[in-house]
Chain A
Amino acid sequence: MMKITCPFCGARNENEFHRGGEAHIARPQPSMDTSDDVWGEYLFFRDNPKGIIVERWRHTYGCGQWFNVTRDTVTHEIKAVYDIEAPKPAIDAQ
């Protein structure tokens, strides 16, 4: 069970959180003007890296707030936790 540091509450057990999938996925706007391909890409296609992934998590059984996490999918090491609106940080894949 991972230990995740909520930016608002501090370090807590993973089972207080929910994972919300890959972060920084922009919703195509205006949606009705997008092609089927672009819309399909937005709906269904996600990275599945062996290594660093950026994803959003919610502290469901705490403050209820969403935030972003960069996590290594191999070691489960959490490299950074940052605000939901902040840009993607540059993180060395190594």
Chain B
Amino acid sequence: MSGFRLAKGGAIDRNRPLSFTFNGKFYQGFEGDTLASALIASGVDIVGRSFKYHRPRGFVGAGVEEPNGLVQVGTGARSTPNIKATTIALYEGLTATSVNAWPSVEFDIGALNDVMKRFIPAGFYYKTFMWPDWHLFEPLIRRAAGLGQAPIEADADRYDHAHIHCDILIVGGGPAGIAAALTAAQGGLDVVIADDGPRLGGSLLWDFADQTDDGVAFAKMAVTKLGDTDSITVLTDTSVYGYYDHNFLTARQYRKPPGASANGTANSGNTAERIWKIRAEHVILATGAIERPLVFANNDRPGVMLAAAAQNYAMQYGVAAGRRAVLFANNDHAYKSAIALKSVGVDVALVVDPRQNPDGYWPKRAREMGIVVERGAVICDVHGEKRVRAVTIGKASDNDEAPEVTQTVTCDLVLSSGGWSPRAHLFAQSGGKLRYDEAIHSFRPDISVQKETSVGACNGALRVADCLVEGSAAAIEACAILGKSVTAPIFGYSPETPVTQPQAPYFRAPSPKGRKAWVDFQNDVTASDIELAARENYVSVEHLKRYTTLGMASDQGKISNLNGFSIMAQTRGVSVRDVGTTKFRPPYEPVTFGAIAGRRIGDFYHPIRRLPTDQLQRELNAQFEDYGGWARPYCYIRDGEKKEDAVYREVRAVRSGVGLFEASPLGKIEVTGADAGVFLDRIFVNTASTLKPGKARYGLMADENGVVFDDGVFVRLSDDLFLCSTTSAGADHMFLWMEEWLQCEWTDLDVYIANVTTSWATFAVAGPYARDVLLKVTEGVELGNDAFPHMACRAGTVAGVRTRINRISFSGELAYEVNVPAGYGEHVWRAIMEAGAEFDITPYGLEATMLMRAEKGYLHVGADTDGQTLPQDIGYGGPVKKKKSDFIGRRSMVRPDAKRSDRLQFVGLKPIDGTQALPIGGHIVEETQGTRKSAGYITSSYWSPVLQHGIALGLVKSGRDRMGEHVRIYDDGSFRSAEIVSPVFYDQNGDRLAS
């Protein structure tokens, strides 16, 4: 119990208390708190356990850099894991639990790993569980891993996506971002400024040493001014997490705090989170910097915190993170944090600085205030298990030996500062090149590759005055590029420009024997793990990262990476410049799957296409399935039927009476123009130009590799108008395929094509009584066998609606395909059903259709063919040879591979060991010299209710030369026997088609 609430100060409202629970206990905070500031104010020391060793951990940071304070917030359908307690605004009724502790943070069984840590170094799991097989151990180890719990209930919240196209996007609302926005506001350009905090201001809101600083007032003025400017859009609670090609950036906006109920905030508009997709002409990155901790023994104890974080808690939230503090820092800025803490009443016992003569503006002021500074010194070790009790101090030196302890200082708070790292993540994501800057001992933006400018602390400028200048200058330049002339406005705020001395390159104090010093707090990577990686030659930073998991936790190494690279550099005896950085990838901040999915969930995930007669099909108790994006009837179930029974009933009805099939999704492409015939000759394997108007022909389509990829019947309606049908799933692709050849290759042809698939409702009337049914409802069409033979097309009316009727059959029975404008679909379906009532007309579904086409040996492209099937493999070698003109894929059909005699060929297979259907996908297995080899496989298989035995189609090696041969078919551990037969099982002469 070390932290406490200060009597005054901070941007919190002490008149508006908020209750919340943490790990089941009730606490109170104030409006304006974060969960972290409220917990520290309540004296909570331990917020979680570390990932690997389960060591007790407290807060290290105050923002997105926080590695330890991960919580699961909300309950039930709003439960959200791995939210940083430092970034979530406190609200009434918030419930939070630690994510990596069992049974509790105070007593955690996994902490046994801490005792064992000597034996669990980096790579331990890989090395130890190699024999006999890592996969035996993996489930057990994985169960111990993982942070938080995925909610079981469906998410109760709604998420959405929105687009912004703007002139200038400013990322970050600190001093540099605000200066840029105020400057750009004068130009009238569309400017968006985004900040991940609830209000603009950034470091202005906390980075001051006493209350006389007017940075907060400046931030308030800016918020008002920007809010009043119409051309400026301010996005708060918005984290820009990705920077992609051509200045496209993505941002996640919290529209209510995670875990809060739907009415979270007034403007939540029913969505919990929104993804903004932003395309900007120019981007100004003002993302600030992150303080690095120093690396020393037991630097992960609760109570060891970043100096600026403690300052932030004090100045922005009115919270003291401890009562007696020791600062360990290698730079001037951290003294400002110490001064700030002292000004609010925290006892700053000592400043430990490895530099020999810190004498800049802030160190001087600290000394004037009576703060004792130990020069040329380091912290040797931290005492205290669940909270810091004391630190030991020794002399700084250049060697690796742990120094002798010269004094012990009692304290409950250790502030640590190793300098500031520019937040160059987005810059690096944009493709920009970083360079190592010796002055700040960190990487900073160097060469931009997109239309972007980095300003302020993310560009290495750590003084507020410099941030204002850089922000303003970047905005002036961006406006000029976009054709607007602006000048730097008068801000009415002149921050101090203190003289600072260079920071020390120092980042690590040697640890006493047996003491570990932490680098990556979230993934429990220690300095000795990095040394081990170096010894084992994982010296590349990308290897180091994967071997030790440095920077791979949900904080992505925000405070740890540079220290890790520095230790690697030191161990190898090279500069950090030569070690480099790992690749920066989106997202900068974790983003929930809910936000990424947005509205594309449930019915919106993949909108289903519905038939023109969808409602009528429902009334007929159709069993819908998804076929290529269309909801189509599989079969129609009558009382007491199983699906199988229904399918067999439908097949028998078509074979002996008459059936009606909803075929509207059948692809329909109109090809028109003087060269339509020539064009289709090139598209189809078959010849189109010789077809007479009023006739239909089967067409096969191949790609340039000669591989069959679609088929369908085409009809010639007039000399210059063809209607080509494609498979139902292939219509869109086929249309685009034809367009590509027309636009890119054969630009001289007079041809226009239109995809009219959804303009027409298509019904197949099939069965011996099909003609009798249509005679009752059609006019102007001669239906007699001679006047309207098989493979012909006619126009007329059906039930008073103009129609195109094709006499083609996919079932093998006498059949007519009736096409009417889609809007008349319901009317015509009803009329045909009524006319067919006296013949007991039966609606039949797709499964009956597929069964009947298999009985007839009609190919189903994509099911009965694969990515290597050529026309000759499915019996079209003759037409290809005879065709006079060139067509797509023809040349590939005579390649050496195409001429092999042992190619897989399309055949029928009939079971000879019973009547049951053969297994689809079962392989024809042949044994030669004791080894089994596949000689093809079954592509379609059904039990025929008409033939009363199984029928199958398949691709079999040299199949057509092996008619009558018996083969063995392997599937799932057992064998079946079958005979290779013709694929046509039913009505081999085609008499029924022509009847």
With A36-B895, A60-B736 in contact, is A84–B744 under 8 Å at CB? yes
Which single member of B244, B886, B892 contacts A39 (CB below 8 Å)? Answer: B892
A31 touching B886, Cβ below 8 Å: yes
Chain A minimum-CB-distance residue to B450: A75
Q: In the assembled complex, which residues on chain B have CB atoms less than 8 Å from the CB atom of A75?
A: 431, 449
Cβ-defined partner of B245 (8 Å) among A1, A30, A39: A1
Whether B745 lies near A27 (C-beta < 8 A) is yes
Quick check: B743 and A2 within 8 Å, CB to CB? no
Q: How many residues of B contact A (CB 8 A)?
A: 24
Q: Which residues of B contact A32 (CB under 8 A)?
A: 886, 890-891, 894
B692 located at the interface, meaning its Cβ lies under 8 Å from any Cβ of chain A in the complex: no
A13 to B247, CA, bound (A): 11
**How far apart are B753's CB and chain A's nearest CB, in angstroms?**
11
Residues on A with C-beta less than 8 A from B743 are 65-66, 84
Question: Does the CB pair B744–A1 fall under 8 Å?
Answer: no
Cα distance A30–B247 in the bound complex, in angstroms: 46
CB distance from A56 to the nearest CB of B (A): 6
Which chain A positions have C-beta within 8 A of B248? 1-3, 13
Residues of chain A lying within 8 A (CB to CB) of residue B705: 43
Question: Does B292 interact with chain A (Cβ within 8 Å)?
Answer: no
Q: CB within 8 Å of B: which of A47-94?
A: 56, 58, 60, 64-66, 75-76, 84-85
Query: Which of A43, A58, A60 is the one whose CB lies under 8 Å from B892?
Result: A43
CA separation between A3 and B745, bound complex, in Å?
Answer: 26
B449 CB contacts on chain A under 8 angstroms = 75
Contact among A13, A31, A60, A66 for B279, CB-based, below 8 A: A13
Smallest CB–CB gap between B679 and chain A, Å?
Answer: 15
How distant is the Cα of A14 from the Cα of B327 in the complex, in angstroms? Answer: 51
When distances are taken between beta carbons in the complex, the residues of chain A under 8 Å from B894 are 32
CA distance A43 to B892 in the complex (A): 9
Q: Which of these, A2, A39, A85, contacts B891 with CB under 8 Å? A: A39
In the complex, whether B246 has a CB less than 8 A from a CB of chain A is: yes
Quick check: is B987 within 8 A (CB to CB) of the other chain? no
Q: How far is the CA of A82 from the CA of B301 in the complex (A)?
A: 63
Contacts of A2 in B (CB 8 A): 245-246, 248
**B626 is an interface residue with CB less than 8 A from chain A:** no
Question: Is B747 an interface position by the 8 A CB rule?
Answer: yes
Quick one: which of B872-899 are within 8 Å of A by CB?
886, 890-892, 894-896
- Residues of B547-596 whose CB lies within 8 A of A: none
Instruction: Please give, as numbers and ranges, the residues of chain B lying within 8 Å of A30 by CB-CB distance.
Output: 886
Chain B residue at smallest Cβ distance from A18? B736
Residues on B with C-beta less than 8 A from A66 are 739-740, 743-744
B245:A36 contact, CB within 8 angstroms: no
The complex places the Cα of A75 from the Cα of B705 at a distance, in Å, of 33
- Considering the complex, which residues of chain A in the window 1-39 have a beta carbon less than 8 Å from any beta carbon of chain B? 1-3, 13-14, 20, 27-32, 34, 36, 39
Q: Which residues of A contact B895 (CB under 8 A)?
A: 36, 39
Write the nearest CB–CB distance from B449 to chain A, whole angstroms. 6
Q: A2-B246, A30-B886, A76-B245 are in contact. Are A58 and B740 (CB under 8 A)?
A: yes
Complex contacts, B891 vs chain A, CB 8 Å: 28, 31-32, 34, 39
For the complex, what is the distance from the CA of A1 to the CA of B276, rounded to whole Å?
14
Closest CB of chain A to B454's CB: distance in Å?
A: 18
Q: Does B704 touch A at the CB level, under 8 Å?
A: yes
Question: Which residue, of A31, A32, A36, A66, has the highest number of chain B Cβ atoms within 10 A?
Answer: A31
Minimum distance in angstroms from A12 CB to a CB of chain B: 10
Q: In the complex, A34→B896 CA distance in Å?
A: 14
Residues of B within 8 A of A28 (CB): 891
Q: Are B886 and A64 in contact (CB under 8 A)?
A: no
Task: Check A3/B246 contact, CB under 8 A, given A30-B886, A66-B743, A66-B744.
Answer: yes
* A85 cross-chain contacts in B, Cβ below 8 A: 747
Q: Which residue of A lies closest to B706 (CB)?
A: A43
Q: Which residue of A lies closest to B745 (CB)?
A: A27
Bound-state CA distance A14–B894 (Å) is 39
In the bound assembly, the distance between CA atoms of A76 and B450 in angstroms comes to 10
Q: Is the CB of A1 within 8 A of B739?
A: no
Task: Give the distance in Å from the alpha carbon of A64 to the alpha carbon of B738 in the complex.
Answer: 12
Closest B residue to A66 by CB, please name it: B743
Residue of chain B at shortest CB distance from A30 = B886
Bound together, the chains give a CA A60 to CA B890 distance in angstroms of: 28
Q: Determine the distance from Cα of A11 to Cα of B896 in the docked complex, in whole angstroms.
A: 46
Report how far A85 CA is from B745 CA in the complex, Å. 9
B235-271: which residues lie under 8 A (CB-CB) from chain A?
244-248
| Cβ contacts under 8 Å, A76 to chain B | 245-246
In the A-B complex, the 8 residue pairs with the closest CB atoms: A31-B891, A3-B246, A1-B248, A66-B743, A76-B245, A2-B245, A2-B246, A39-B891
Q: List 23 A-B contacts (CB under 8 A).
A: A2-B245, A2-B246, A3-B247, A13-B279, A20-B740, A20-B744, A27-B745, A29-B886, A31-B886, A32-B886, A32-B890, A32-B891, A36-B895, A36-B896, A39-B892, A43-B704, A56-B744, A58-B736, A64-B739, A65-B743, A66-B743, A76-B246, A85-B747
Identify the B interface with A (CB < 8 A).
Answer: 244-248, 279, 431, 449, 704-705, 736, 739-740, 743-745, 747, 886, 890-892, 894-896
Chain A interfacial positions (CB closer than 8 Å to B): 1-3, 13-14, 20, 27-32, 34, 36, 39, 43, 56, 58, 60, 64-66, 75-76, 84-85
